[in-house]
Chain A
Amino acid sequence: EIVLTQSPGTLSLSPGERATLSCRASQSVSSSYLAWYQQKPGQAPRLLIYGASSRATGIPDRFSGSGSGTDFTLTISRLEPEDFAVYYCQHYGSSLWTFGQGTKVEIK
């Protein structure tokens, strides 16, 4: 089973700043099978990125995904007030979906 490790655990930033979130896989994975989600308190996760770099429908272009092999990144170019939330990466492989433990982006 592939383990996804997200860092940092918490990211303290101000609106307008750039956020860079990391997701590292325990072994090399296909970038096609890497996705990112945003979760706000009391809500279900929302799909942001699939295939490592494709934005889901309706997701603003300030969100971007990149990476390959074992290292993947979610970048929020300029944080808006509504972007402060928890972000999870997710991988599919060997008929199993796994999630990272999450990165909280909080207001500094």
Chain B
Amino acid sequence: QVQLQESGPGLVKPSQTLSLICTVSGGSISSGGYYWSWIRQYPGKGLEWIGYIYYSGSTYYNPSLKSRVIISVDTSRNQFSLKLSSVTAADTAVYYCAKTSYSSRGYWFDPWGQGTLVTVSS
């Protein structure tokens, strides 16, 4: 079955750009039929959807983060990535990537990667 794994620096300085990669195994991003999302979870446990990408490269971002987010896809490596610019301490969170299903029965995230903690600190 599909598995996802996040990777990237665990510590980012304020004002810099957070960069993460999600590697997908057990299935091809290029097969279509799903979105590929980034979600974060704050230390207080709240969850926030960041955005998604389709294999074609089309994206949609949470309006609250849109000005700072870029999600891209590399189908040759079966990976998609997140860049979040101008980070502050408020961006400290566990970042997850997730396969996103959509149908007449709804839109949901399954499965999720294990998550990676990113701390913003000087």
Binding site for B on A (CB under 8 A): 32-35, 37, 43-47, 50-52, 54, 56, 86, 88, 90, 92, 95-99, 101-102
Q: Chain B: interface residue count, which band?
A: 20 to 34
Known: A45-B47, A99-B47. A92 touches B112 (CB 8 A): no
Bound Cα distance A90, B109 (Å): 10
Binding site for A on B (CB under 8 A): 37, 39, 45-49, 60, 62-63, 96, 101, 104-115
Chain A, interface SS category: strand
CB–CB B49/A50 < 8 A: no
Residue pairs across A and B with Cβ atoms less than 8 A apart, 10 shown, are: A37-B109, A45-B47, A50-B105, A56-B110, A86-B45, A96-B49, A96-B63, A99-B46, A101-B46, A102-B46
Nearest-Cβ distance from residue B102 to partner chain A, whole angstroms: 8
Q: Of all chain B residues, which has the CB nearest A101?
A: B46
CB–CB B46/A50 < 8 A: no
Nearest-Cβ distance from residue B71 to partner chain A, whole angstroms: 14
CB–CB A88/B62 < 8 A: no
Bound Cα distance A56, B60 (Å): 25
